Structure 1
Amino acid sequence: MKSAGPVATPLRALKLGEGGFGIVYKGILKGKDGNGDDGSMVVAVKRLKPNALQGHKQWLMEVRLLSIVNHPNLVKFIGYCAVDAERGPQRLLVYGFMPNKTLDHHLFNKDSPLLLWDIRLKIALGAAKGLLYLHEGLEIPVIYRDFKASNVLLDEQYRPKLSDFGLAREGPTFGNTHVSTAILGTNGYAAPDYIETGHLTTKPPKCV
């Protein structure tokens, strides 16, 4: 695990989005000299909401998982910050900034230009490669559990990056076919057989 080191300063006027447990801001990660003139970079900073106990568990999972994965179709993890201040615990995650927002934004926002079919194909293939890496590219497989358009970020060339790994779970090992867990995820996106049984597997969901 790694700390973000230099402070990533959230630009409060540039709120990028908000989920159930955290708010994401656009921020600046200052260079080593601390004055922002050398080596600064634009980042996305997710700040855990105060008193979000379940969110803290997801924050820990993201730190743990993103510290060990490395794939061009997963969001780039810059670091984290954990401080217990007088106003309560402060938990931050710092990611690479994705200028083209999310796939959800382009599909469902009326003001967003339509994506060309070659770009859509590139996004679909890249997202699939990210999932394949999680399922087969690690010593212990990881099941994402939150694959949806709003969690597919797009960089400056519309290359997809899977993000938000708070619901991820280690998959079956040692010849087991599945792991049993509480049913979590987003309605309409979770695999039907997982909803029915609570069994997580790296196999494709059954069609219904």
Structure 2
Amino acid sequence: MIRLGLGLKAQPVAVKLLDLDGTQGHREWLTEVVFLGQLRHPHLVKLIGYCCEEEHRLLVYEYMPRGSLENQLCRRYSISLPWSTRMKIAIGAAKGLAFLHEAENPVIYRDFKASNILLDSDYTPKLSDFGLAKDGPEGD
């Protein structure tokens, strides 16, 4: 976690660094910047900023203290999530997808999985990782 000073209040953030040897490249990084730079919804992670300098690429997001849904479900010594919390997460993730599908310019989110659903301190889910997203169909 890195803290950036924004005005008088420091805000915790998460930083995602592009791995040049990984499966996602500049095109996916740029796709994420474009989509998250245009979209705002309570169930989408907030993109705070980005950096593109020479071959270096990074994204700065709001910090999600509970990590991914995958981590919550698959931790070795975790207490299982109560049913009401699981429903809150499922409904919130569905609301995020519905927002994307019903947007003025629809978005196809092609990487829906537990590791891309991040959770804030109240278990509010937020969709992340838009590197594989595509513009949706227009018209009927």
> TM-score, structure 1 length as denominator?
0.64
Change over 3 Å in CA distance of 1:52–1:107 after alignment to 2: closer
Which of 143, 154, 161 is residue 126 of structure 2 equivalent to?
161
TM-score scaled to structure 2, two decimals? 0.94
Give the whole-Å Cα distance in 2 for the aligned partners of 1:108 and 1:47. Answer: 24
Gaps of 5+ in 1: 1-25, 33-37, 176-208
> Aligned match of 1:135 in 101, 113, 120?
101
Which residue of structure 1 aligns with residue 5 of structure 2?
Answer: 30
Among candidates 75, 79, 84, match of residue 118 of structure 1? 84
Change in CA separation of 1:53 and 1:82 when aligned onto 2, cut-off 3 Å: farther
For the aligned residue pairs, the C-alpha RMSD in angstroms reads 1.4
8 A contact 2:64–2:121 mirrored in 1: yes
The answer to which structure has the higher helix fraction is 2
**1:65 corresponds to which of 35, 58, 65:** 35
* Structure 1 residue 50 corresponds to structure 2 residue 15: no
Q: 2:78 and 2:28 mapped to 1: Cα distance?
A: 31
**Structure 1 ranges of 4+ moved more than 6 A:** none
Structure 2 spans left out of the alignment, 5+ residues: none
SS in 2 for 1:40: strand
SS at match of 2:112: coil
Residue of structure 1 equivalent to 2:44:
74
Q: Which protein has greater RCO, CA pairs closer than 8 Å, 6+ apart?
A: 2
Q: 1:94 aligns with which of 60, 71, 83?
A: 60
Give 1:53 shift: 8.1
1:139 CA drift (Å): 1.4
CA distance in 1, matches of 2:107, 2:6: 33
Give, in angstroms, the shift of residue 150 of structure 1.
0.5
Amino acid across the alignment from 2:110: R
Larger Rg belongs to:
1
| Cα distance between partner residues in 1 of 2:88 and 2:24 | 34
Match of 2:70 in 1: 104
CA deviations on 1:102-131 (whole Å, 9 max, x unpaired) are 110111112222100000000000000000
Matches of 1:52 and 1:64 in 2, distance apart? Answer: 20
Residue in 1 that maps onto 2:115: 150
Q: Tell me if the contact between 2:107 and 2:135 (Cα under 8 Å) persists in the aligned partners.
A: yes
Give, as a single letter, the amino acid of the residue that structure 2 aligns with 1:31. L
Tell me the percent identity: 54
Report the alpha carbon displacement of residue 51 of structure 1 after superposing the two structures with TM: 5.3
Inter-CA distance 48–140: structure 2 relative to 1 (3 Å threshold) = same
